[in-house]
Chains A and B, each alone.
Chain A
Amino acid sequence: MEAQLAEDAENFSRSLNSVAERFRIIGKIGEGTFSTVYKAEDLHYHLFDNSWDLDRTPAKRRAESNAEPQTAKKLKKSQEGNERRRKLVAIKRIYVTSSPQRILNELVLLHTLSQCKAIAPLITAFRDQDQVVAVLPYCKHSDFRSFYRELHISEWKYYLKSIFTALEHVHENGILHRDVKPTNFLYDISKRRGVLVDFGLAECEALESEHCACRKHGDSLRQFVDRQPTGGYLKNDNRPGRRANRAGTRGFRAPEVLLKCLNQTTKIDTWSVGVIMLSFLAKRFPFFNSADDIDAMIEIATIFGKPKMAAGAKLHGATFDSTIPTIPDVPFQFEDIAVWAITGGAEDSDLTASLRQTYTTDENYTQAFDLLRCCLEIDFRKRISAAEALEHPFLVDV
């Protein structure tokens, strides 16, 4: 594996001359939907304007501004006193099978959003024929799995604050990230700061509202007397299928995405953050796990129950019908789910009792569960927005 990584990195370096000159590839961080990301060292850091770098200390900044144009060597010498950390970057190598439009889309979005602290800024980018490479800062972060159960609620508040801040900015620009999940939010516990990455699936909000029942506030359904038989399906159904953008990761997709609403809004990202919150509170990750959209819908239905699902479906011009016995008629309370999940179903333990006690009396928790409910709201119109979430009692003082 090691050899393979090294070879891959070397091939990459060779293919893109500009990259090889300036960056030393250290290794592969991961493979995304549309790109591969490498960790690298920026060897020419000192030659460039680095206003993107949040870690620059004031001393360094002063040093940079006072100095005359110098070669890298001289600068390094003058900074001998300071701890000289190598500058790490993430190099995103976009798959050449992506169309120029898609490449343009991502680069433009990244660049538009660059000025937000909670979004990984685009440092620079290169093209060599069909290979486009974007350079972003390497964000030191901790693996979500390693801390989501350990952090106290007063700590993981910062996580939410940070991610909502990022999303607020994204949404202000009329952009949907579409793929919000822990692996796309690189959080540094020590700095209490995270960075939203991977805009490969992001897209702008629809300029004109699309035709979905939700746009007409669900009233238009009155004109359709639903005389379709239920309890089965047509064997030879020649009707077309509903089509809408379904990008994203299944466990984090909002109900309207699963229902193929044509009119998806920035609220789909808020739902995803709600799912992350659920992981924090129930101490389970991933909370949802489904092989396809239908399973994902059933999982959601298992929590919300038939009436809410039916209402949610109706909002988007769909009917909901199920005889699955584990889909309840009454929704589960998230507190109950959390208790069950944390105690492993042990009903009579002391832990159970104390958890219930905490959830009803500790302000942190009551506020947290309330915010959770606001995020995991099936009706996107009622769902809280990123900006509103920052004003929610749970986060407002953070």
Chain B
Amino acid sequence: MSSAISRQNYPPCFGATIRMTADSLAPSRRVHSHSSLKDAAITATASISPSSGSHSIAISSSRVQTAEHDTAEADDDEDMEDDDGADDERRDRLELSYNDAHVRRQTASVSPSRHSVASMQLHTQSLASAAQSRSMSRVSSSSHGRSAAYVNTASISGFNAKARERTGSQLHDRTAAVARVVLAREQRQQQALREQQAQEHAAAEAETIRQWQRQWKRVLSTSTFYFDGIEDPTKDRAKRQLMGFGSTIETFFHGDVSHVITNRPLAATYPATDIISQAKQRTMKLWTYDKLLRFLSHLQETPSASVHNAGNRPAVVASEASNNLTRMLREEKITGPADSDPRARREDFHYFKGPYFLIRDATGQYRPIMVREYQKVADPALGDWPQFRLSGPGKCPFVMDASVYKNNGEATQPRRTTNSGSRHKRTVTTEMESASTSKGTSKARKLAEDDEAAVAEPDGGDESHKIKVRREVTRNTQLAAFKEPHARKKSALTPIRMTSVRANSGGTKNIEYRVDKNALAATGRSYTARMSAVLGHEMVATGINMSNQTSGIRSMTQSGGPNNGLASAVSHAQSKEVNSLKRKVFEKKKKPVAIPQASIKRDLVSVKEVKPGYCENCKDRFDDYDEHTKSKRHRKFASNDDNFREVDELLMKIVQPLRSEVSFI
């Protein structure tokens, strides 16, 4: 039979299968909505409530840990190999582990319990029978009645026999159903976690509002108000409210008034004796009447602590007002008081001096998603940021590849043609191109040659290239600190000097390097220099792909905080913890090779590589994978079969059937 099962016969659209059958089920058994799944669980078994109880506790504990790792947010990606790296790509496990911490901890915090497994079994059954009813129309089967029994089958072989009686497609349906349930559960957990975070956030904001109200009430108790020609009939009520807070209302203007309420345009010029001029001169608060009314309404509202309150509660108006207030307070924190001059310089704000890249969250709820600033350079081609660069065939076009650095005036970035359908005038682009035309680049090169102090001479005969290096600090601060080096083609034993500019010290620092051309080309020459600036100590590249290290370290520094925004040449580690972490990572990664004269060639390294990371099961970081897996704590988890109950269930289904057990048709 198995040989006759061609893959085309399998119901093509698993998703559709489940979704359609779910639709046809009674509402209480739908998979999609959060609450109805719960209902289904309750009807099926009462045991879900304890697990969801523990579920929320687990979540809050995981939250504590999440906060701790805030700055260590990393991703589990890897960098591409340079050309000569023949091996498969390696990922930085430390990065990975932090991503685990960040992304997966919610799920890890809820360990598979009997309750959840039981509920899963029952869910799977309901889904399975639904799936079966669909697949039955395609494949005949006589085993419908046995669906309830499959998870409880005692012996594996017995199970396998039963399993084989059914068609392969039904097996897949069930497994797929399991997949959906498990993954749906993960999703819900993540969702719940987010909601909880949102709740807490809202509660924090409510508290902020209360604080604001308290502070203002205190201020009001000592304030004096003067109403400058307000005709509005509501002014009496406003005055009464103010007096209720302890403020004094003056009928005549005098120098000790703290607030002037006016409806006259504030921007207009008034004679010096006019009240408005006087108020400005004496730095009294000048408010429009509208502002006063808004202010009073905010003062009197009760802040709501729930995120989802707008429109759901009877006191809609009050809720909306306090929501507005919440938002205003939030914005004020960022934009400054609404009545202040937005163009005035703010002390709490860092203004970019050089080219920058800024992606902000438009709602203002989150800190900027991406912030980075670079040093100003006269020639954009010298800029440290990613851009098109002259590069050789097969190489990344964003990485300077010195081996094709000719003097023929090649375009360092694509030329536009109107043929290709670009409808914009070329003048727009020529402005950009002129920056990186041959003129620009040769000029830059000339400068480098002028400044050059020591250059390693190329070997006669082979194609190696020099690594040009600048000994001295750029005289002109406008120029980039680093010149694109020409990498030596041979591997790496030549000492080279590279300078880096330290933002704080302003001096130069000579760092001894041994670099591999490929590593340099792959990572972009500035990374090594950057890393040394950041780490503050000598960095030795061993010819192994350095981008792994840099990514591991850099990605950790790249969470949304303000300090990460600066290019490394002007940046410094923002927190002690991250700094020490970086050093740790760096040292741990290349344990035996921290010594300059350590063997460069990879195959000489006979010391076992230490692999640090994070264990999702013990919920703990470790320095050495092998050591940790042998540790008592981990072994305790490992030897407890209960932890792997769900995995075992799945394994039972996917174990490869023996040939003899498959019936051939």
Interface positions of A (Cβ within 8 A of B): 1, 4, 29-34, 46-51, 61, 64-65, 69, 95-105, 107-109, 111-112, 114-117, 122-127, 129-132, 135, 145, 149, 172-174, 183, 201, 203-204, 206-208, 210, 213, 221, 224, 226-237, 239-243, 245-251, 253, 259-260, 282-295, 297-299, 301-302, 313-314, 317-326, 328-330, 332-333, 335-337, 339-342, 344-347, 356, 359-360
B77-A208 in contact (CB<8A) = no
A332-B416 in contact (CB<8A) = yes
- Chain B residues whose C-beta falls within 8 Å of the C-beta of A30 in the assembled complex: 87-90
- Chain B residues whose C-beta falls within 8 Å of the C-beta of A328 in the assembled complex: 429, 432
Q: A48-B656, A230-B360, A294-B558 are in contact. Are A114 and B350 (CB under 8 A)?
A: no
A117-B359 in contact (CB<8A) = no
B581: min CB distance to chain A, Å: 16
Q: Contact mask B44-84 → A, CB, 8 Å, 1/0? A: 00000000000000000000000000100101111110010
Q: How far is A361 from B274 in the complex, measured between Cα atoms in Å?
A: 77
- Chain B residues whose C-beta falls within 8 Å of the C-beta of A319 in the assembled complex: 358-360, 362
- Chain A residues whose C-beta falls within 8 Å of the C-beta of B252 in the assembled complex: none
Q: A130-B617, A345-B412 are in contact. Are A324 and B374 (CB under 8 A)?
A: yes
List, sorted by A's number, 13 A–B pairs whose CB atoms are closer than 8 Å: A1-B602, A31-B88, A31-B90, A99-B616, A101-B182, A183-B88, A224-B364, A228-B331, A284-B393, A292-B558, A317-B362, A322-B355, A340-B397
A347-B411 in contact (CB<8A) = yes
Q: How far is A249 from B503 in the complex, measured between Cα atoms in Å?
A: 31
- Per the 8 Å Cβ criterion, residues 348-367 of B in contact with A are 348-352, 355-367
Q: A288-B398, A291-B554 are in contact. Are A69 and B659 (CB under 8 A)?
A: yes
A338: min CB distance to chain B, Å: 8
B383 CB–A CB distance under 8 Å: yes
Q: How many A-B residue pairs have CB under 8 A?
A: 461
A208-B32 in contact (CB<8A) = yes
A392: min CB distance to chain B, Å: 18
Question: Which of A97, A323, A340 interacts with B355 by CB under 8 Å?
Answer: A323
Q: A104-B650, A345-B411 are in contact. Are A239 and B386 (CB under 8 A)?
A: no
- Chain A residues whose C-beta falls within 8 Å of the C-beta of B352 in the assembled complex: 231-232, 323
Q: A33-B96, A130-B638 are in contact. Are A360 and B615 (CB under 8 A)?
A: no
A126-B175 in contact (CB<8A) = no
Question: Which of B394, B618, B622 interacts with A149 by CB under 8 Å?
Answer: B394
A228-B388 in contact (CB<8A) = no
Q: A298-B385, A324-B383 are in contact. Are A233 and B390 (CB under 8 A)?
A: no
B595 CB–A CB distance under 8 Å: no
Number of residues on chain B facing chain A (CB within 8 A):
173
Q: Contact mask B638-654 → A, CB, 8 Å, 1/0? A: 11000110111011011
A105-B172 in contact (CB<8A) = no
Question: Which of A33, A204, A224, A298 interacts with B91 by CB under 8 Å?
Answer: A33
- Per the 8 Å Cβ criterion, residues 403-421 of B in contact with A are 404, 408, 410-417, 419-421
Q: A248-B75, A345-B412 are in contact. Are A320 and B359 (CB under 8 A)?
A: yes
B651-A127 in contact (CB<8A) = yes
Q: How far is A100 from B596 in the complex, measured between Cα atoms in Å?
A: 42
Residue of B nearest to A298 (CB): B386
Q: How far is A132 from B653 in the complex, measured between Cα atoms in Å?
A: 15
B368 CB–A CB distance under 8 Å: yes
- Chain A residues whose C-beta falls within 8 Å of the C-beta of B411 in the assembled complex: 340, 345, 347
Q: How far is A171 from B404 in the complex, measured between Cα atoms in Å?
A: 42
Q: How far is A299 from B385 in the complex, measured between Cα atoms in Å?
A: 9
Q: How far is A47 from B658 in the complex, measured between Cα atoms in Å?
A: 6
Q: A232-B350, A250-B77 are in contact. Are A65 and B664 (CB under 8 A)?
A: yes
B129 CB–A CB distance under 8 Å: no
B331-A326 in contact (CB<8A) = no
B461 CB–A CB distance under 8 Å: no
B184-A207 in contact (CB<8A) = yes
B658-A356 in contact (CB<8A) = no
A284-B397 in contact (CB<8A) = yes
B272 CB–A CB distance under 8 Å: no
- Chain B residues whose C-beta falls within 8 Å of the C-beta of A230 in the assembled complex: 358, 360
B562-A314 in contact (CB<8A) = no
- Chain B residues whose C-beta falls within 8 Å of the C-beta of A107 in the assembled complex: 647, 650-651, 654
- Chain A residues whose C-beta falls within 8 Å of the C-beta of B365 in the assembled complex: 239-240
A248-B77 in contact (CB<8A) = yes
- Chain B residues whose C-beta falls within 8 Å of the C-beta of A135 in the assembled complex: 656
A41: min CB distance to chain B, Å: 16
Question: Which of B12, B395, B558 interacts with A284 by CB under 8 Å?
Answer: B395
Q: How far is A324 from B83 in the complex, measured between Cα atoms in Å?
A: 29
A296: min CB distance to chain B, Å: 8
- Chain B residues whose C-beta falls within 8 Å of the C-beta of A204 in the assembled complex: 179-180, 183-184, 187
B5 CB–A CB distance under 8 Å: yes
- Chain A residues whose C-beta falls within 8 Å of the C-beta of B654 in the assembled complex: 107, 111, 122, 124-125
Question: 8 closest Cβ contacts across the A-B interface?
Answer: A30-B88, A345-B410, A130-B638, A241-B560, A124-B656, A340-B414, A99-B616, A286-B80
B182-A97 in contact (CB<8A) = no
- Chain B residues whose C-beta falls within 8 Å of the C-beta of A206 in the assembled complex: 187
A169: min CB distance to chain B, Å: 8
- Chain B residues whose C-beta falls within 8 Å of the C-beta of A239 in the assembled complex: 364-367
Most chain A CB neighbours (cut-off 10 Å) among B31, B76, B391, B608: B76
Question: Which of A100, A286, A321, A332 interacts with B396 by CB under 8 Å?
Answer: A286
Question: Which of A124, A289, A339, A345 interacts with B655 by CB under 8 Å?
Answer: A124
Q: How far is A75 from B388 in the complex, measured between Cα atoms in Å?
A: 60
Question: Which of B102, B415, B565, B629 interacts with A96 by CB under 8 Å?
Answer: B629
Q: How far is A75 from B178 in the complex, measured between Cα atoms in Å?
A: 37
B499: min CB distance to chain A, Å: 21
- Chain A residues whose C-beta falls within 8 Å of the C-beta of B387 in the assembled complex: 298, 302, 324, 326
Question: Which of A61, A132, A183, A232 interacts with B349 by CB under 8 Å?
Answer: A232
Residue of A nearest to B10 (CB): A115
Q: A112-B14, A336-B415 are in contact. Are A64 and B360 (CB under 8 A)?
A: no
